[in-house]
Structure 1
């Protein structure tokens, strides 16, 4: 089984070109295998979200190498980066970021609409299948305000799966939920990981949830602890 993500000596600094340069990632080496379910843990300010954003191609590393699906991302132009991010990576955040004026179904369809430029029948059918998978078939035509926090996060998970990504990145996906809803969302992510073999990297402060992952990657002060 190959690696879906490979980082070699990745560094990230802010304020480059100014008198005050702050390096927040200090030479990160990390690999995430296809189908792996891993937690990224560490104290606030340790660089977890920055690392997740770099893996997700939302930010550029200052130096080092990042390979996604075997592609060296430094060799890709902005259009290719956008395409790789849209088709290979699904994002789930602490706050669901659903579009309030659209139904759950339309929110789940949105990545496919953006990718193809129009709402195809296939996008509609795929979105309905995903909502059924996350237990929200009957809520397909409800808007986010009509759904509970846990239901909204399940819509966000379905949206993240819209284009069948090989990698799912989740930044505190249960951090805004009560214990019961958090457990449901976590179990849903595990189920998706098993069924689809999508690699999952989850940032979490919840030690109990992290312990249920296949691997824990621990980060302190912009560095990974040995064994990551």
Structure 2
């Protein structure tokens, strides 16, 4: 499917040039290909969220090289990074961050509206199709407060897919759900991954879910450990 993400000797330091400077990622090398469904695991404070933020272009590395679809991101200005992030990467978080004043349909349309600066019929059709795909077509005109936690997370997944991203990053997407809803969300992500051949990287503390992924990427003290398939 081709390489979507490539990290070469990525390091991240905070407080650079100050007495409290600390390096939290120590020379990370990692490649993620299209169609992969991988789990990123590790103890609290191991660097999982920092690594995910760098892959998702939310933070810049202190050194090293990050390529998205073969494109070196080091010299891109902030406007270009924002566009690349919006169009190529779909984010799913533990807390769905839906906009409470908008319907499920409007929430799913939001990335397309931001990208095009205006709601379009095409964006609405795409959002309805995605809501149908996650089993929420009948809830299109309901607001988040009218939906269960699992349903809200499904809306968030549909929103993350609205621009057909090549890479899906999920940060503890089932951490706030009961076991039944968590299983359903995980299987939905697997199904989407298989259908769209996107790359999916999931941060999870759930060893059972991680074991069901194609690859487990373990990080500890800012360094990658042996990866299990």
TM-score range, shorter chain: over 0.9
| Residue aligning to 1:46 | 46
1:83 Cα deviation after fit: 0.8
> Residues 11 and 24 of structure 2 are in contact (CA less than 8 Å); yes or no, is this contact kept in structure 1?
yes
Instruction: Tell me how far apart the structure 1 counterparts of residues 47 and 118 of structure 2 sit (CA, whole Å).
Output: 37
1:35 Cα deviation after fit: 1.1
Q: Does 1:213 align with 2:220?
A: no
What pairs with 1:1-228 in structure 2 (closer than 5 Å)? 1-227=1-227
**Partner secondary structure for residue 157 of structure 1:** helix
Instruction: Tell me how far apart the structure 2 counterparts of residues 16 and 140 of structure 1 sit (CA, whole Å).
Output: 47
**Partner secondary structure for residue 192 of structure 2:** helix
1:76 Cα deviation after fit: 1.1
Unaligned runs of 5+ in 1: none
Unaligned runs of 5+ in 2: none
- Deviation digits for residues 7-53 of structure 1, max 9, x if unmatched? 00000011112111011000000000111000000101100000000
- Deviation digits for residues 108-158 of structure 1, max 9, x if unmatched? 000000000000000000000000000000000000000000000000000
Instruction: Tell me how far apart the structure 2 counterparts of residues 76 and 139 of structure 1 sit (CA, whole Å).
Output: 39
- Deviation digits for residues 60-80 of structure 1, max 9, x if unmatched? 000000000110000211111
TM-score (structure 1 length as normaliser):
0.99
**Partner secondary structure for residue 185 of structure 1:** helix
Instruction: Tell me how far apart the structure 1 counterparts of residues 227 and 192 of structure 2 sit (CA, whole Å).
Output: 26
- Deviation digits for residues 148-169 of structure 1, max 9, x if unmatched? 0000000000000000000000
TM-score (structure 2 length as normaliser):
0.98
**Partner secondary structure for residue 163 of structure 1:** coil
**Partner secondary structure for residue 107 of structure 2:** helix
> Residues 215 and 227 of structure 2 are in contact (CA less than 8 Å); yes or no, is this contact kept in structure 1?
no
**Partner secondary structure for residue 109 of structure 1:** helix
Instruction: Tell me how far apart the structure 1 counterparts of residues 65 and 85 of structure 2 sit (CA, whole Å).
Output: 16
Q: Which runs of 4+ in 1 moved over 3 A?
A: none
- Deviation digits for residues 165-216 of structure 1, max 9, x if unmatched? 0000000000000000000000000000000011000000000000000000
> Residues 217 and 226 of structure 2 are in contact (CA less than 8 Å); yes or no, is this contact kept in structure 1?
no
Aligned CA RMSD, in angstroms, stands at: 0.7
Instruction: Tell me how far apart the structure 1 counterparts of residues 2 and 28 of structure 2 sit (CA, whole Å).
Output: 19
Instruction: Tell me how far apart the structure 2 counterparts of residues 143 and 16 of structure 1 sit (CA, whole Å).
Output: 44
